[in-house]
Amino acid sequence: MRQATRSLSDEADLIARYLIGKSPNDRVKRRYEDAMHTLHGDLDAVDRRLWKVVTCCPFTFRIIDSGLAVLRPASSIRRKVHVMLAVLEASPEYCEYFLPKAFGPLYAVNIVLTGARAVFVGIIGYAALKLMGIKGQ
């Protein structure tokens, strides 16, 4: 049980760094662990294979996640990301990442560029998963 908890703590850390760029505190990690125990977030064979890639090479998380969003939107990895996103969003110490901010007139350019990057990474992710032999759900 201790190994499983440690694994979930590491998982929470990895996913939070992917989402907000920093490691969460221990309270958030415990909330994530509790949520995953309640939801029984077991990975199927495909997701286990992809999770192994993500844990070995965390920089691939964005690519794999975007590919899964297209090919396997109900995958267990995406579910883990959504659970951590909900935990972070509901935590007062991380809410500033999710609250609206005042933006200047050039922010529209940032939105367009961010959208273009998301489409580009989605295409790369889709291609990468197809090359790995991953099929859609």
Cβ atoms of residues 78 and 130 within 8 Å: no
Q: Taking 70 as the threshold, does the pLDDT of residue 2 lie above it?
A: no
pLDDT value for 6: 61
- Asked if residues 32 and 86 have their Cβ atoms less than 8 Å apart, the reply is no
pLDDT tens sequence across 61-115: 999 999 999 999 999 999 999 999 999 999 999 988 988 888 888 888 988 999 9
Query: Residue 110 domain-assigned?
Result: yes
The reply to whether 12 falls in a domain is: yes
Closest to 18 (Cα-Cα) out of 64, 78, 59: 59
What's the domain count of the chain? 1
- Dist. CA 31–CA 101, nearest whole Å: 27
Least confident of 20-24, 102-106, 128-132: 102-106
C-beta separation of 96 from 35 below 8 A: no
Q: What is the pLDDT of residue 108?
A: 85
What is the rounded radius of gyration, in angstroms, for the C-alpha atoms of the chain? 16
* Mean pLDDT over each residue of the chain, to the nearest integer: 90
Tell me the CA distances in angstroms from 134 to 22, 55, 61, 64, one per residue in order. 30, 18, 16, 11
Has residue 59 been placed in a domain?
Answer: yes
Cα–Cα distance for residue pair 131/31, rounded to 1 Å = 36
> Where do we find the tokens 């939105």?
111
Closest CA to 55 of 1, 85, 21, 10: 10
Residue 136 lies in a domain: no
Answer whether residue 55 is part of any domain.
Answer: yes
Instruction: Give the pTM.
Output: 0.86
Domain that holds residue 13: 2-131
Instruction: Confirm whether 20 is domain-assigned.
Output: yes
Domain-located, residue 137: no
d(CA 63, CA 54): 10
